[in-house]
Chain A
């Protein structure tokens, strides 16, 4: 079966520290992968998406970067966190590659920057 894993689930980081969030997908190959962020009390913001290894598209300028070193691995990073980077980060992969845009989301990583 197809599953998506995100970790860590929760983390608290000081301002200026680095960040690495990891997402892996099992049971599929060459998925489209996505990173979304949800700030407290707000909607989901698409940050990055990837259609293949090494192919990253950024949707908004920010203090974050994404990488896809392997087919089913998607990493969200920052060199120096800002307070505004706090939020709920969600990884998703796209099913229905014949057309339907059905995204399956992971459980999320809740980041608090202090």
Chain B
């Protein structure tokens, strides 16, 4: 599994874009980058994943650098309900689905 590094906490103003960085300098060529989030006292929720290309879905956008050593999760218009811990995970494709969660980034969206 690729080791990932995230800042422990971030603040974002409501309505603004939240940009959450993740470093994964040891990621191998076949390892995807996954993002999950966990709202307090709930189970984690899948957000998005990608390999090389940037990805976008109804929840967020994922920007992966060309060298794949880092990525950024973008919540385009953060709301108070986006306050959560965000986890960036590097995991081999089709390897039993064992996702190893780190400490994540605690995002606080403020009014």
Does B21 sit at the interface, judged by CB under 8 A? no
Q: Which residue of A43, A44, A99 has the most chain B CB atoms within 10 A of its CB atom?
A: A44
Segment at the A interface, from B10-18, B72-80, B92-100: B92-100
Pick the residue among A36, A42, A43, A103 that contacts B97 (CB under 8 A). Answer: A103
Counting contact residues on chain B (CB < 8 A from A), the size range is 20 to 34
Task: Give the shortest distance, in Å, between A79 (CB) and chain B (any CB).
Answer: 26
| A103 pairs with B46, CB closer than 8 A | yes
Count A interface residues, CB 8 Å.
27
> Complex: how many Å from CA A34 to CA B91?
15
Q: Which of B35-71 contact A (CB under 8 A)?
A: 36, 38, 41-46, 49
Interface residues of chain A, those whose CB is within 8 Å of chain B, are 32, 34, 36, 42-46, 49, 51, 59, 88, 90, 92, 94, 98-108, 110
Interface residues of chain B, those whose CB is within 8 Å of chain A, are 32, 34, 36, 38, 41-46, 49, 87, 91, 93-104
